[in-house]
Amino acid sequence: MPKKIIAGNWKQNGNLKSSVTLTKGTISALARMKCKHEVIIFPPSVYLIPIQKLVSKKIKLGSQNVSAYDDGAFTGEISASMLKDLKVNYCLVGHSERRHIINETERALSGKVTRLFENNIRIIYCIGETLEEYKGRKTKTILRNQINSLIKQNKGNLKKHPKNLTLAYEPVWAIGTGLVPSMSELSDIFSFIRSTLNKVDSCYSSIKILYGGSVTPDNAAELMKTNHMDGLLVGGASLISKKFIDICSTI
């Protein structure tokens, strides 16, 4: 069975002590259960260095953000080459909180993707519609536009390294709300995303697609029955070691 991906996005939560405890607890539980899947944690940037010292083959390290620019006069930013220095394996781009709260534009997202490709850091690129767009039945239009914009601006890199990109479908209205799409909605959307990628180029068939939005130990197994779903991006539930491990063990 191909490896599934289970990613935990800690967002702006915790402190040094709790982050170290959470990492250690997650790693030892994964070792006990002989987890064969790709498990990635995304701690806050300031904790990447102490956590990098703890990670083993059992777990991959991800950054929640990266600068759209190479090194230079960009106060407060962290470049892809700096992440590479820390042996960061993955980076999130396009998370709805960065699109809608920080107001990141498609152009900024494209710069981030390019820098990550240049530094050989794998990208988890989030796409998804808002509640208003969902109610207006615009989900597929939004997803098509987001996918096409990503591909158009990174065609060369993507063709060379399609495996460096993973998509995460995260309906904005499902993030942190306890709401999840129905199984038939998810099946329709995942088939749509897969066929949109295939229509652009058959070399994109290797791109994995995750689901994110109110994933819990109670719904993870059911969600993973969706065709074309290659894993889960978990927010709130990844902050509690037992919940995150329970999600990993149900897959």
Catalytic residues: 95, 170
Q: 208-212 and 60-63 as β-strands: parallel, antiparallel, unpaired?
A: unpaired
What is the footprint of ligand PEP within residues 2-21 (CB under 6 A)?
9
Cα atoms in the 13 Å half-sphere on the side-chain side of 75: 0
Is 128 near ligand PEP (CB under 6 A)?
Answer: no
- Least Å from the CB of residue 69 to ligand PEP: 25
* Comparison of 111 and 171: residue with beta carbon closer to ligand PEP: 171
* Comparison of 14 and 176: residue with beta carbon closer to ligand PEP: 176
What is the footprint of ligand PEP within residues 196-235 (CB under 6 A)?
212-215, 233-235
Is 110 near ligand PEP (CB under 6 A)?
Answer: no
Is 176 near ligand PEP (CB under 6 A)?
Answer: yes
* Comparison of 79 and 175: residue with beta carbon closer to ligand PEP: 175
Residue nearest to ligand PEP (CB): 235
For residues 46-85, one letter each, b for 16 or more C-beta atoms within 10 angstroms of the residue's C-beta and e for the rest, the string is: ebbeebeeebeeebbbbbbbbbbeeeeeeeeebbbebbbe
**Residues engaged in binding ligand PEP (CB under 6 A):** 9, 170, 175-176, 212-215, 233-237
